[in-house]
Structure 1
Amino acid sequence: MKKILILMIAISLFTVLSKAIATTNDYDEIARSDKVGVSIYAKKLNGYGLYTNFKIDFQGSILSKPYWINTTSPTWSPEIIYEDISQDGKKELVIILTKDIGTGVLECEVHVFQTQPRKSDKTQSQIPVEVPVDEPLAILLKNVKTELTPNKASVSIGDKKYTVDIKPLGIQPGNLFDEIYFGNLINFEIKNNQLVAKLGGQISPVGGYIGIFKSSIYTKIKCIK
C-alpha cells in the first residue's frame, strides 16, 4: 500500500511539474532574476517588434498576462525588482515594461504584485497578486500647471514655481506646443524604497525637453530637475 501511495505521489508531482514546464516551453525567456526566483516569458508578435502573451514564473507559480507588451530590443528587456515599496515590512514584486521606444520617445509601464501565501496539503508557497497603482500622468496633470511662451516655460507645483529659459533651444514659435506636453517620456525607478515615475516635459514636436518631472506613485509631484 505504501509503495502504491508513493508511486501515486510521484506521478502527481511529475504531472504538476510537466504542466508547469509545458506552459512556458514554447515561449522565449526575456527576463530573469535568480536572486528573486522570477522568470518572464513571452511570445514575439511577428512584424511588430514586440513581445506579448506574457507568463511570469514566480518561484514555481505561473501567472499569465496575455495583454502585456514589451519591445523585443534586448536593451529594454523587462526589469524585475523585489523591494518593500509599501514600507510595510513585506517586499513587492515590481515589473517595468518598455512598450515603445524611438527618437524622443520612451514609454514604460509598471506593474506591482504583492505576494500571498498559498497552502496546498502540507506545502506552502507564495503567489503574486497584482495590485493597482496610481496613473502617473493623471497625478501630474492634477498637480502641475504650466505656461509656455516663446521665451520661457513656467511650471507651478503647489506653491512652488519654476521657470526655464527656452531661448537657447532655438525652437521657432511656430513649432511650440500651446503648453508643456507629457507622455512621450515615461519611465520608472525605485528610489529610497519608493516607486517613482519620471515624465519628460516637452515643448515642441521636434524635441525640446526642458526637464524630468518626478512623482511618487503614492504621493503628489515631488520635484523637477
Structure 2
Amino acid sequence: MSSNQVLINAESKTIVAKSEEAKVVLYAVKSDGMYRNFEMKINKGMRFFPFWLNVTNPTYAPEILYKDINRDGIKDLIIVLTRGYGTGARDSEVHVFHKIRTNIGEVDKENLVDNPTAIILKNVKTSLSKHQAIVRIGNRKTIINIDSLHIPQEHLFSDIALGNIKHYDVINDHLVASVSAQISPTTFIGMLEITYEFKDKMYQAKKIEFKRVK
C-alpha cells in the first residue's frame, strides 16, 4: 500500500454517489458533518483519496459527470465536491480524469485544473463606488448602476467580492467554473464564468465572461 492510501473499514463506508454510465461508485466515511477518506470503484479496481472532503447535506452531494471535455472522442470523468456552504456561500472543487493506455492497460489519470480564483486575480479588475460597480475583463468593461438597489452605504463592500460561491459544471462539453460577484452581504450582481480548455497537459482558462443577474 502506498503512503497516500487509507484503508476504509467496510462497515463504515457509505455510497455517496454513483454513475452507471461511467461505471463509477464513490464511497466515503461520514464524520463530523463531512464525508472523508474517499474511495472510488472504477474499472473493476479501487482508488483511494484520503484528502477529498464533501459536506453530508444531500443538497450538496458529490456529483459525477461523464463528458468528453478534452475533445479526444473519449468521455472523461469529472467529480465535483462541495467542501463547505452557508448563506450566500459555496466552496466546490473539481477532479478530472482521462482514460489513457499504459503498458499495464487502461488507467484513469487525474489532470490538473487551474484554480479559478487565481485565473480571476490575473485577468479580472473590479471597482465599486456608491453609484456603480465595474467589472473589467481585458478590453471589455461592464458598468452596473447600483442606485436602484438602494443598498445602505454601511452595507456596501469596499470592492466587488468575488468567489463566495464557486461551482463547476459541464456546459456544451466544456468544463465551466462559476464564481459569484457580490457587492454587499446580501446583494449579488452576477457570475464570472470561466470556460476551460485542455492545453499543455492541464485545464486552463479559454474564455472568461461576466454574466449579470437578470
TM-score, structure 2 normalization: 0.86
Following the alignment from structure 1 to structure 2, what is the Cα–Cα distance between the partners of residues 24 and 189? 32
- 3-state SS in 2 of match to 1:171: coil
Which structure 1 residue ranges, 4+ long, deviate > 3 Å from structure 2? 117-120
The amino acid across from 2:146 in the alignment is I
Following the alignment from structure 2 to structure 1, what is the Cα–Cα distance between the partners of residues 144 and 31? 42
Give per-residue Cα distances to partners, 1:19-59, cap 9 Å, x unaligned: xxx9673310000011110000000122xx11111011113
Which residue does 1:88 correspond to in 2? 72
The amino acid across from 1:183 in the alignment is G
Query: Offset of 1:220 from its aligned partner?
Result: 3.6
Following the alignment from structure 2 to structure 1, what is the Cα–Cα distance between the partners of residues 130 and 193? 25
Aligned mate of 1:188, from 168, 172, 183: 168
Give per-residue Cα distances to partners, 1:116-141, cap 9 Å, x unaligned: 23666xxx5x3322110111111112
Following the alignment from structure 1 to structure 2, what is the Cα–Cα distance between the partners of residues 142 and 148? 18
Task: Tell me how large the CA RMSD over aligned residues is.
Answer: 1.8
The amino acid across from 1:109 in the alignment is E
- Bigger Rg, structure 1 or 2: 1
Which residue does 2:108 correspond to in 1? 128
Q: What stretches of structure 1 of length at least 5 have no aligned partner?
A: 1-21
Which residue does 2:43 correspond to in 1? 59
Following the alignment from structure 2 to structure 1, what is the Cα–Cα distance between the partners of residues 149 and 209? 26
2:207 is equivalent to residue 207 of structure 1: no
Q: Please give the residue correspondences for 1:3-152 in structure 2 after superposition, counting only pairs within 5 Å.
A: 25-26=10-11, 27-46=13-32, 49-117=33-101, 124=105, 126-152=106-132
Following the alignment from structure 1 to structure 2, what is the Cα–Cα distance between the partners of residues 127 and 56? 13
The amino acid across from 1:77 in the alignment is A
Aligned residues: 197
Which residue does 2:201 correspond to in 1? none
The amino acid across from 1:91 in the alignment is K
Cα pair distance change 1:23/1:117, threshold 3 Å: farther
The amino acid across from 1:99 in the alignment is R
Following the alignment from structure 1 to structure 2, what is the Cα–Cα distance between the partners of residues 34 and 118? 25
- 3-state SS in 2 of match to 1:138: helix
Following the alignment from structure 1 to structure 2, what is the Cα–Cα distance between the partners of residues 90 and 223? 30
Which residue does 1:15 correspond to in 2? none
Following the alignment from structure 1 to structure 2, what is the Cα–Cα distance between the partners of residues 168 and 59? 55
Query: Offset of 1:180 from its aligned partner?
Result: 0.8
Structure 1 contact 139–220 (Cα < 8 Å) conserved? no
Structure 1 contact 61–127 (Cα < 8 Å) conserved? no
Q: Which has the higher helix share?
A: 1
The amino acid across from 2:10 in the alignment is N
Structure 2 contact 54–62 (Cα < 8 Å) conserved? yes
Query: Offset of 1:89 from its aligned partner?
Result: 2.0
State the percentage of identical aligned residues: 38
Following the alignment from structure 1 to structure 2, what is the Cα–Cα distance between the partners of residues 40 and 198? 24
Q: Which has the higher strand share?
A: 2
